[in-house]
Amino acid sequence: MNKAIAVIGAGNGGTAISAYLASQGASVRLCDLFPQYIEGIRKNGGIELSLDGRTEFHRLELVTDDACAAIRGASLIMVVTPSFTHRMIAEKIAGTLEDGQVVVLNPGRTCGALDFLNCLREKGCAADVVIAETQTLIYSCRRIGEARAEIYGVKKEVDIAAFPADRTDEVLALLHPYYPQFRPVSSCLVTSLSNIGALFHPTPVLLNIGRIETDKNGFLHYIEGISPAVANLIHQIDLERMAVAAAYGAEILSAEDWLKKSYDTYGDDLYELLQHNKAYQEIKGAHSIDVRYVTEDVPMSLVPISELGHIAGVDVKNIDAVILLLSSIYNRDFRAEGRNVERLGIRGLNRAEVIAFLQSGKKA
C-alpha cells in the first residue's frame, strides 16, 4: 500500500481538503461519483487554494469519477460528502477495499461509521479496514468556480473516533502529519451524539413550514426562525440527546455549552445564545421544504439518536414527535429509510452490548 490519499467528494469540503493535502506534499486522488462536479478540476489538473491571504495551485495525482480507481492502494480515504451518500459510496468501494486501509467520514453525522461499516459487510467486504468519523468538518470553506477552493477558517480542535474504538490511534497516525487538530474521543458515540445539526436544523423547519412555503421574502433561519418558543422545544430535544449520551457513558456538551465554546456569543439560555451569535446573523431560512435540514438531518441524525434512546430505555418523545410529524408532512417514512437499528446492525442488542460492539467491533 502506498502513501496516496483518496478524497471522495468534490464539494466545498472535499476540494479544500484535497488542495490542502496536496499543498503538504501528499499524493492526492480526488473522486466524485458525479462527473460534472470534477470536469473543471480534471481539465486543470488540480485546484487553486486560497488560504491565509495566498492563492496557490496544487496538482492532484488523479481526478476521477471512479471511486475504486481512487482508493486502490491508498492508505487513507477521506469521505467528504453529505451523509445520505455514505451508503452509496460504501457500496461502490466494498469490493476494492484492502486490509489496513482507513476511511474517515468528514463528518459522520450520527452513527455514520457504524452505518458505513455495516453496509460494507452487507456487500461482502471482508477486508480488515477501520472506519472513523469526525464530529464536524475541520474547515469553514467554499468551492469557487470550477477549480478553486477558499478556506475561511480552520477549527482548533475536531473530535474523531474510530469504529472499532480501540483502533483510533491507527487513524491518528495517518492524519496527524497533516491535521494535528484531530482529538481522539472515547468512541463514535461521542462524535455521533455531538451532532448539533440534529438540534438546530429539523425543528425550526418543522415549526416554520408554513412560512417556508408562502413567504416570498424569506426569513433568517436562526434569528427569525428560532423564536423563544421554538428554542424551548430545541432545548427539550437537547435534554433528550444528553440523556441518551449519559445512558451510554458518552460525555458531550449541551447545545448551550457548545455555542459558548464554538462562538463569541453570550446569553442566559439557548434563545439568547443563538440571537447573539454573530456567525448566525445572516444565515437564511429554507426557500422550499426540499431542504437537507430535513431530508438529511432527520433520517441520518434524529433517527439514530431515537433508536439508541429506545435501546437504552431513554424517553425521547420530543425527538420521536419531530420524526413522526416531518414524516407525515413529507409523505416519507424517515425512520424506515434512515439509520435505524437494522441499517446499523444493532437490532437485538442491549445498551451494554452496543457499547461493547462500538469498542471492539465484535458482537457478543
d(C-alpha 219, C-alpha 277), whole Å: 17
Q: Is the peptide bond before 164 cis (omega within 30 degrees of 0)?
A: yes
Q: What is the rounded distance in angstroms from the CA atom of residue 324 to the CA atom of residue 305? A: 14
Whole-number Å distance between alpha carbons of 279 and 273? 11
C-alpha distance from residue 351 to each of 162, 163, 192, 254 (Å): 19, 17, 16, 22
For cell 433568517, the residue is 220
DSSP state, 284? B
Residues β-bridged to residue 7: 30, 78
132 and 162 Cβ atoms separated by less than 8 Å: yes
Catalytic positions, please?
Answer: 201, 297
Amino acid sitting at position 319 = I
Return the DSSP state at 98: -
Alpha-carbon dihedral angle through residues 283, 151, 187, 127, given to the nearest 10 degrees: 120
126 and 98 in contact (C-beta within 8 Å)? no
**Burial environment of residue 290 by CB neighbours within 10 A (0 to 12, 13 to 18, 19 or more):** exposed
Half-sphere exposure of 1 (CA within 13 A, CB side): 18
DSSP 120-138: HHHTT-----EEEEESS-S
Residue 244 and residue 311: Cα distance in Å, rounded? Answer: 10
Q: What is the Cβ-side half-sphere exposure of residue 281, based on CA atoms within 13 angstroms?
A: 7
> What is the radius of gyration, based on Cα positions, of the chain?
20
